Structure 1
Amino acid sequence: MTENHRIAIAGIGSVAEMHALSIGDIEETTLVAGSCRTDSRGRAFADEYGCAWFSDTETMLDETESDVLIVCTPSGAHLEPTLAAAERGIDVLCEKPLEITTERIDRMAAACEDAGVTLGGVFQQRFTDIFREVHSAAEAGRFGNLSVANAYVPWWRDDGYYEGAWQGTEELDGGGATMNQSIHAIDAVQWLAGTAIGTDRDENPVGEVFAYTDRLAHDEDLMEVEDTAVAVVRYRDGTLGQLLGATSMYPGSLRRVQLAGRDGTAEVLEDELVTWHFRDEREDDETIRERFGEGEASGGAADPMDIDYTDHRRNIEAFLASLKSDDPYPLDASEARKSVAIIEAIYDSAERGEPVSPS
């Protein structure tokens, strides 16, 4: 495996800048190029980050000798660059969601497996210090028999966010507040709950969902999909949960993830730990409460770019480390697929008016 990874980025939007900044901080990596259909944006990106620019992803892959492609195109356009990379023997790290349907994800995974390359997802929230602490507690069984696993994303997006954009379209967003904004929280809560209840890694911890979705704060000429969704969840072991995803709640408030059981509760409000109590109090619990007890960032509640790139960098580092060591990447296609399967079940349940199990 090459020591100096040559990385290309497909899709030069706002999130691509997070990746470009991250790559600049990582030793033994070089950002060689980005692809974008817009001339002015492509040239500006190339000037800013000292790389080449191409208007076509396949041409970029042919002419740059890249060994890793990071896919940052709109959500419903992740399949094509991934297939192009697989055909050329290039490993792929793909922004969330891996794709907007499980059928498209499965095509991506099959192509990469056939080509002998790695396909990984980006869920940078898993790499935050605060969620690592919650995950360690879940792994250690500190919650006891789990009772509740909840995720809330009570956010706001003004009309300008959707005007003339791919966001809010069925074709490229694949959904609204649930698929786009809430997927990080859904991924986090299913990951934590699955760990706490001991679900097999290849099994989705969510057993079924019952959901309602609607467009309540934005006109249909601005967005085709939902800006508000609520769902109740039954996990495979019987644990119950609630999911809220919205871009309809002015002025927007902080994302919340909650895990609670017979022996303890952890509750994370964006980057602040508001509850950390366990029946078996340990020496470092007070230190953890003090360390994570003050949160300041809005975390995208009203501004989608109110985040820094530290956790993106950690996510990329984990992917590159897995390539160098041949160890499994913890957010492989199977793992990154789970949140999309849950969201598909939410949409299906809302349409059918009955509980649906993720496929």
Structure 2
Amino acid sequence: MTENYRIAIAGIGAVAEMHVESITDLSNAELVGGSCRTIEKGRAFADEFDCTHYTDTETLLEEMHPDVLIVCTPSGAHLEPTLAAADHGVHVLCEKPLEITTERIDDMIEACETAGVRLGGVFPQRYNPVVETMHDAAESGRFGRLAVANAYVPWWRPNDYYEGSWQGTVELDGGGAIMNQSIHSVDAIQWLAGATMDLDEDVNPVAEVFAYTDTLAHNGDLMEVEDTAATVFRFRNKTLGQLLGTTSMYPGSLKRIQLAGRDGTAEILEDELVTWQFREEHSNDTAVREEFTETARGGGASDPMSIDYEYHRRNIAAYLDALANEEPFMLDGQEARKAVEIIEAVYASADRRKPVRLG
């Protein structure tokens, strides 16, 4: 058992700082290095966080051989550092999405399995206590026959978010408001709805999607992908769902998740539980309602850096615990793949203007 994990980060953009703050809070983790092609940016990162900077990930892995590589490069550049880490026998924790296509994700999964290292994903909303509480209710059958699983991400991003950036490009973002921003909610609703079904672990709870996407608030010179998407889901147990995912709704408002069935309804507004009502009241339901009564921060509605890093910290801690105890990790490669599989179907449906079934 490794008591203190030496962690390096590939890609030191804005999201990497959440990982650094998380690592700093953990008693069994130490940041030892980061890779970035821009020398000035890399040196500033190394000075601020007291670690070593490398201009490429391959050299970092060869010289430092960390226990874990956290991949925070642009979304469409997650494959290469993951393959390099696997080749060096280094475990990988990868920011969302694992990659922008399931084909590239499958290459990552295969490489890590062949090398005997663990591949994990980052979906911090799974470690949000109010979402965990909803999942427990779904898993225990409190909703009865589940009828509805909805998610709404009515966000805003200004033009300068996309100007001169990899965000909003096909090559490195792989999509827009769905692949980048709303993927957290895509994962959350498939996980929540899936808790009511008896499925094999590698089976996606979503059976079919129908979607419209468009670019409505940002011109094509800024982004190559959608800023607005509306999707209908049919799950494998016939539950129906909707997803609204945007970066086109000024000034942006908090995201929402809703589960409902013949025996109850629960609804989350960011970190607040706005509805918790079941046909059969349990003794702790009043305490649950009282526990989740406010949202402390903006949750990324208009500013991606307003997201609290606490759930990242819990996500990283759970991954390290799984390594230390040689136990399964909830967000292994196959599980983290599911959200991208759904999003591929969303884009295929929007392109073909007809429903698309998942495998």
Q: 1:201 and 1:257 mapped to 2: Cα distance?
A: 23
Scaled by the length of structure 1, what TM-score is found? Answer: 0.99
Query: What does the per-residue CA deviation read over 1:233-273, in whole Å, with 9 as the maximum and x for residues that have no partner?
Result: 10001100101110001111110111000111110111111
Equivalent position amino acid for 2:154 in 1:
P
Structure 2 match to 1:239: 239
What RMSD, in angstroms, separates the aligned Cα atoms of the two structures?
0.8
User: How far, CA to CA, are the matches of 1:265 and 1:222 in structure 2?
Assistant: 40
SS of match in other structure, 1:125: helix
CA distance in 2, matches of 1:78, 1:92: 10
Secondary structure of the equivalent of 1:305? Answer: helix
Q: Which residue number corresponds to residue 195 of structure 1?
A: 195
Moved more, 186-195 or 292-301: 292-301
Any idea what SS the aligned residue of 1:197 has? coil
Residues 154 and 246 in structure 2, CA contact (< 8 A), matched pair in contact too? yes
The 1-side partners of 2:29 and 2:337 are apart by: 27
Matching of residues 291-310 of structure 1 within 5 Å:
291-310=291-310
What does residue 268 of structure 1 align with? 268
Q: Does 1:325 align with 2:317?
A: no
For residues 269-322 of structure 1, the C-alpha deviation after alignment (integer angstroms, 9 at most, x for no partner) is 111111011111111111111111222322000001101211111100100011
Give the match's secondary structure for 2:348.
helix
C-alpha separation in 2, matches of 1:294 and 1:123: 21
1:11–1:71 contact (8 Å) kept in structure 2: yes
Following superposition, the deviation at residue 5 of structure 1 comes to 0.8
- Conserved 8 A contact 1:145-1:197: no
Deviation at 1:199, TM superposition (A): 3.0
Instruction: Please give the alpha-carbon distance, in whole angstroms, between the structure 2 residues aligned to 1:281 and 1:289.
Output: 12
Measured in 2, the distance between the counterparts of 1:156 and 1:199 equals 36
Q: Is the 8 A contact 2:65 2:88 kept in 1?
A: no
Match of 2:49 in 1: 49
Measured after TM superposition, the shift of residue 65 of structure 1 is 2.2
Q: State the AA in 1 paired with 2:205.
A: P
Query: Taking structure 2 as the reference length, what is the TM-score of the superposition?
Result: 0.99
Structure 2: 5+ residue stretches without partners: none
Equivalence for 1:80? 80
Matched, 1:16 2:16: yes
**How far off its partner does 1:3 sit?**
1.8
Q: Secondary structure at the match of 2:282?
A: coil
Give the aligned partner of residue 100 of structure 1. Answer: 100
Letter in 1 for 2:41: R
Query: d(CA) in 2 for partners of 1:313 and 1:117?
Result: 21
Equivalent pair of 1:230/1:242 in contact (CA under 8 Å): yes
Secondary structure of residue in 2 paired with 1:196: coil
**Retained in 2: the 8 A contact 1:9–1:34?**
yes
CA deviation profile, 1:130-162 (whole Å, cap 9, x unmatched): 111101101111010000000110100000000
Per the alignment, residue 6 of structure 2 pairs with: 6
For 1:225 and 1:24, locate their aligned partners in 2 and report how far apart those are by CA, in whole Å: 36
2:306 partner SS = coil
SS at match of 2:305: coil
2:186 corresponds to 1:186: yes
**TM-fit CA distance, 1:357:** 1.7
Secondary structure of the 1:328 match is coil
Please identify runs of 4+ aligned residues in structure 1 that moved more than 3 A.
none
**Structure 1 residue 2 displacement after superposition:** 2.1
- 1:117-266 pair list within 5 angstroms: 117-266=117-266
Identity %: 67
**DSSP-derived class of the 2:152 partner:** strand
Q: Is the 8 A contact 1:11 1:35 kept in 2?
A: yes
Deviates more, 1:82-91 or 1:295-304: 295-304
Separation of aligned partners in 2, 1:198 and 1:145: 13
DSSP 3-state at the match of 1:222: coil
1:54-88 deviations in Å (ceiling 9; x for gaps):
11000001111201000000000000000000001
Q: Deviations over 1:153-210 (max 9, x none)?
A: 0100000000000000000000000000000011000000000233332210001000
Does residue 66 (structure 1) correspond to residue 58 (structure 2)? The answer is: no
Cα offset for 1:43?
1.1
Q: Which amino acid aligns with 1:46?
A: A
Which 5+ residue runs of structure 1 have no aligned equivalent? Answer: none
Q: How does 1:336-355 map to 2 (within 5 A)?
A: 336-355=336-355
Find the aligned partners of 2:42 and 2:56 in 1 and give their Cα distance: 11
